[in-house]
Amino acid sequence: MRKPWANRRLIDGCIRRLKEMGYIDDGRFAESYASHRLSARPVGRARLARELALKKVDRKTIDRALDRVFEETGEDDLIDQAIQKRIRTHGRPADRGDAKRMFDHLARLGFEFDLIIRKLNALRTETTDDE
């Protein structure tokens, strides 16, 4: 919706100046956003990518930011944190239904299918070894 008082040239000049001063930087925003989200709750790369895409950050910027953020904290560590938290609140999966619910939870957090399967298989192996 175009405002009658808005001057396109003035707006473009303001945006250009803000970018020059470093106040508008999609890369810095994406990295900061992803880092903050990971410090609050373990989530996977796919979920962060979706959230940033919803904020209109372009795909290349998202990929670069997530590469840098996940260099510091690997997805393996994050999924382990998510699994341990889930176990504390719901217990270890006792049957296929519990395992499916944990799988669904981890998928909603944005972890990759193969990583979830690998971690749940390892958890099942640990459980059978403990018995």
Q: Please say whether the beta carbons of 53 and 88 come within 8 A.
A: no
- C-alpha–C-alpha distance, residues 82 and 78, integer Å: 6
DSSP assigned state of 44: -
DSSP assigned state of 22: T
Residue 72 Cα to chain centre, angstroms: 14
pLDDT tens digit sequence for 78-107: 999 999 999 999 999 989 999 999 999 999
What pLDDT, on a 0 to 100 scale, did the predictor assign at position 128? 64
Ordered by start, the domain boundaries in the chain are 8-72, 75-130
Q: Please say whether the beta carbons of 48 and 80 come within 8 A.
A: no
pLDDT tens digit sequence for 12-35: 888 888 888 878 889 999 999 999
Q: How confident is the model at residue 121 (pLDDT cuts 50, 70, 90)?
A: very high
The answer on pLDDT for 43 being more than 80 is yes
